[in-house]
Structures are given as C-alpha cells and as structure tokens.
C-alpha cells in the first residue's frame, strides 16, 4: 500500500511517496525555481543552426532554449517513417519567426530548456494533442481487446473536425475504467484550455508564458495517486482546501483519500523523511545484508558500484555475491527514483561466474525498474560485466536541486594533503626568491600546514631558508580551504 505525504511551506513544497514504510520517491518544488516542463510559451527564433539541425528560441528565460528538428511539428511525418529524408530545419523555421512552443526538458546544468512545437496538454485521464488527429492508448493498458474498445469509444466522443471535434488524444493508464461521461468531461476541459492558450498566443509578444503546468501538489492528485494509494496527507489547511477544490473538479477518485494532517510533529517525521533525504544525498548506501552501494553522479553519466562489504552470510562465496547482487538490484532501482537520476547509468554488479546467477540478477533488476513511471531502457551484461541503462531525464536530480559544489574542493571531492601544500609553498618561495629581495618571507597558511612545516617538514624549511639566505616565518590562519596559502614579502 502507498501513502503520499505533502509538506507545504510558502517557499517550498516537498512530497514523499511511501510504500510499505519505505520512501520510494521524493519530489521538491521551490516557488522561485519551479520546473518548466509542460509550460507553453510564445517564442521567437533567435538563431537557426543548419549544421546542428536545431534552433535557439527566446522564450524570456535567462538562457535561450533549444529546438531540434525532430521536435518540430509538421503536417507530414518529417521523414520519421524512414520513407523520405527529414525536412531541414532551415526550411521549417526562420530567424525572427514567432512560434508556440512547449518545454519538454528543464534547463539542466549549463544547457537551456529543450522545446517542442508539438503541443500536448495533460488532463486527468487524457493527454490532448491539438495538432494531431490520432488516438493513442497507454502501453500499460495491456489487453488488445480493451485497447480496441477504448479506441472505438474515444472515436465517438472526440467527434469529427467539421462538427467542432477533432484533435488527437492519448488515454492515460488511469482511463482504463473511466466512464464515457468522465472521458467527455476531460475532452471538454482540455479543448477549453487549448482554446484559451491559442487566444493568448495571438495577442502576446514573444517570451510570454501562455500556459503553466500544474503545481506539484496538484500533480500529486493527477499523476501520483492511484488505486493502491491509501492516504494523501497534507500539513497545510489552506493548501488542503485548495487541493480539495481542485480534486473535486478534476480528480474525484483521488480527493476522497486527501487528509489534512493536524499532528504536533511535522508530517515528514512520521516516516523519518528528512533522514531519508540526507541519506539520498550521500555517496554510500548501506544494504541490510552488510553490503553497500557507491553512487557517483557526473556530468556525463552516473555510476553505481556494488560491494559485498561485511556480508558473509551465504554458504559459499558465489552465493554471497549472488545474494548481495539480488538485494542491490532492488536498492538501485529505489535509489534511481529517490534521487531522480537520469541519463546514462552504469551499474557494476559484483562479478558472477555463473550465467544463471547473472540472468536472475538482471531479471530481478528489470522487475524492480518496471515500477518506475519514467521511461527506462536496460541492456544486458557487457563483456566487462557492467549493466548499461538509460533513464529519461526531464528535470534536475535531487542532489543538483538541493546541493552545490563544495567551495573548498570546487566539486573535485578531494583536497590536497597538508604535505602537498607544504611542497607547493616551498616551490613558490624558491620561485619568488629569484625575482624579489625582501628582508623576510612570511607564510600564512592553514593550521595543519603550518604544523607540518614546524614538525615533519622543518628540516626542508630550514634548508630552503639557508639556501635563499632569508628568514622564513610562519603564521597559522583558519582559511576557507586547507589548500589556500599566502606568501607575504616583508
């Protein structure tokens, strides 16, 4: 069973999805840093780049957004069916042109937002594609007979373009058991929303926000709640009332699970969520068996290394490795959701000599990953024994949202030893003694560096002073970084 906890404050909303007492997902939305995915803008083409088959679009943000030719909607297939080459971007857009565009990826790192001119608007049961005319069905609705029934019902409800109908729709998973009345209500709401967006687009200058996606609390009811959700607890009466009004209109099945949490302790204390957030920012993740994971996130990819640690519980070494890898498969799948890790992910399970063990671990890993709502592709084991996978990245990871590079190590994750800093200082004094002729050199450095110069490196310091013929004095100062030092010419 699933519980959803919502901790609301004017500056930040935090949502935790808890299953069987364990946190599975964390979502954070800050008022000043609200995500842009789903937002629709009036954009202006700033530059067309034929060599990259893309264009930079000004949508009023700090950085220009990026539009690739594959995301430009055309009436034809634009060569995607393989029967004809795609139309070059320079023939589809031109500098200064005004376009209605939608954000499909938030700005991440140094990259601007990624855009599409193929507009989609999500409702409770349906996704509306105003520029298309086909009806799609969620892949998670598996029965072919049910898919055909839903498609036939939708064709009647959508109507013909000449009768004021038309437009494309995709049925979401929660539309599987929806009534015709519920589907019709969603169709009407989505068409009305699109009509308002179009009307605004005709009147608005480039850089105008035409439509904003739902807030995190509203998306909880639309996207996160489902049949297995037991309760949705929110700790703000004002937001509870607003969410209840929203739910009565758009998600009546979920609104009955909404509860205003009135407890004296903060709602996140119920399941130690703050401790879980702290653990989700650490490199090391301990497994119950005594094994552990090391998770390293870089610009290019994320690596996950599995280690047995202190686990020696199985009868032989092969079984120990197998059981650790099986436990790690579930833990890794949970950590990917919890930390919202995306892009290329490399998993280094402990090497297994038996093929049946490899197959079982891979099957368990795929089973655990199948619970993820985000699109995932998993390859088998490579020749080096690594599992390569990708997880669609649409927003910043938890670590990138909550943390910044350490000012001391500047993101390297390590600093020079005091001895290395000592030798840097000795080389620098020798360099300056050849250029300048002061009465004395004074070293100002971190206490650990000064202590080493007075103790273990005192012989080298005295030798240098003798060589350059100048006295060298020391001054300990608590600098911001153990690597920082200054040499003052007296």
Which residues on neighbouring strands pair with residue 48, listed in sequence order?
Answer: 55
DSSP-derived 3-state class of residue 85: coil
CA-closest candidate to residue 172, choices 120, 246, 243, 114 = 120
pLDDT value, residue 289: 86
| CA–CA gap between residue 364 and residue 371 (Å, rounded) | 12
How far does the chain reach from its first CA to its final CA, in angstroms?
Answer: 72
Beta strands in 54-186 (DSSP E): 54-58, 65-68, 98-105, 114-116, 121-122, 126-129, 135-137, 168-171
pLDDT value, residue 371: 86
Find where tokens 């995301």 sit.
Answer: 71
Element (H, E) at 7: strand 2-9
pLDDT value, residue 65: 94
Sorted by where each starts, the structural domains of the chain and their CATH numbers stand as: 2-34+215-274 (3.30.420.60), 283-402 (3.40.630), 418-489 (3.40.1260.20)
Contact 106, 63 (CB under 8 A): no
pLDDT value, residue 253: 77
Note the Cα 432 to chain centre separation in Å.
Answer: 48
pLDDT value, residue 314: 53
Question: Consecutive sets of 10 residues in the chain, 490 residues long: mean pLDDT of each?
Answer: 92 93 92 87 95 94 92 68 74 94 88 92 90 86 84 86 75 82 87 91 92 90 86 94 89 87 89 92 92 92 90 72 94 95 95 92 95 88 93 84 87 90 95 93 94 94 94 88 91
CA-closest candidate to residue 226, choices 327, 428, 373 = 373
Which residues on neighbouring strands pair with residue 139, listed in sequence order?
Answer: none
SS3 for 310-327 is CCCCCCCHHHHHHHHHHH
pLDDT value, residue 451: 95
CA-closest candidate to residue 249, choices 284, 213, 222 = 222
């Amino acid at each position: 069973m699933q519980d959803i906890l919502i901790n609301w404050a004017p500056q930040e909303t935090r949502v935790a999805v808890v299953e069987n007492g364990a946190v599975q997902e964390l979502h954070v939305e800050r008022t000043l840093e609200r995500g842009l995915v789903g937002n629709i803008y009036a954009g202006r083409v700033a530059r067309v780049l034929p060599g990259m088959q893309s264009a930079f679009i000004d949508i009023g943000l700090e950085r220009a957004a990026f539009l690739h030719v594959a995301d430009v909607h055309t009436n034809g297939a634009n060569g995607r069916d393989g029967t004809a080459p795609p139309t070059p971007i320079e023939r589809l857009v031109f500098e200064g042109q005004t376009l209605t565009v939608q954000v499909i990826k938030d700005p991440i790192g140094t990259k601007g937002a990624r855009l599409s001119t193929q507009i989609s608007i999500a409702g409770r049961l349906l996704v509306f594609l105003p520029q298309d005319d086909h009806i799609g069905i969620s892949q998670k609705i598996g029965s072919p007979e049910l898919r055909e029934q839903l498609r036939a019902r939708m064709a009647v409800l959508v109507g013909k373009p000449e009768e004021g109908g038309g437009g494309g729709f995709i049925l979401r998973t929660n539309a599987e058991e929806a009534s015709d009345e519920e589907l019709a209500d969603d169709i009407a709401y989505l068409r009305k929303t699109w009509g308002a967006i179009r009307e605004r687009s005709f009147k608005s200058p480039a850089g105008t926000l035409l439509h904003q996606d739902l807030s995190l609390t509203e998306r909880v009811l639309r996207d996160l709640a489902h049949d297995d959700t037991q309760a949705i607890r929110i700790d703000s009466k004002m937001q509870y009332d607003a969410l209840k009004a929203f739910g009565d209109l758009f998600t009546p099945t979920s609104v009955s699970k909404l509860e205003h949490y009135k407890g004296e302790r903060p709602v996140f204390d119920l399941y130690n969520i703050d401790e879980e957030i702290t653990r989700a920012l650490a490199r090391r993740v301990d497994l119950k068996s005594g094994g552990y994971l090391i998770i390293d996130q870089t610009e290019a990819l994320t690596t996950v290394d599995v280690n047995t640690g202190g686990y020696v519980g199985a009868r032989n070494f092969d079984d120990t490795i197998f059981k650790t890898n099986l436990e790690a498969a579930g833990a890794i799948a949970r950590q990917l959701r919890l930390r919202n890790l995306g892009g290329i992910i490399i998993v280094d399970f402990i090497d297994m000599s038996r093929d049946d063990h490899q197959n079982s671990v891979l099957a368990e890993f795929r089973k655990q990953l199948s619970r993820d709502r985000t699109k995932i592709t998993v390859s088998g084991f490579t020749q080096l024994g690594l599992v390569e996978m990708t997880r669609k990245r649409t927003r910043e990871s938890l670590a990138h949202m909550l943390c910044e590079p350490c000012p001391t190590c500047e993101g390297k994750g390590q600093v020079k030893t005091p001895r290395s800093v000592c030798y840097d200082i000795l080389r620098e004094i020798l360099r300056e003694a050849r250029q300048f002729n002061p009465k004395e050199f004074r070293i100002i450095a971190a206490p650990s560096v000064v202590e080493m110069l007075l103790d273990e490196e005192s012989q080298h310091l005295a030798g240098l002073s003798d060589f350059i013929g100048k006295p060298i004095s020391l001054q300990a100062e608590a600098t911001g970084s153990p690597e920082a030092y200054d040499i003052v010419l007296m």
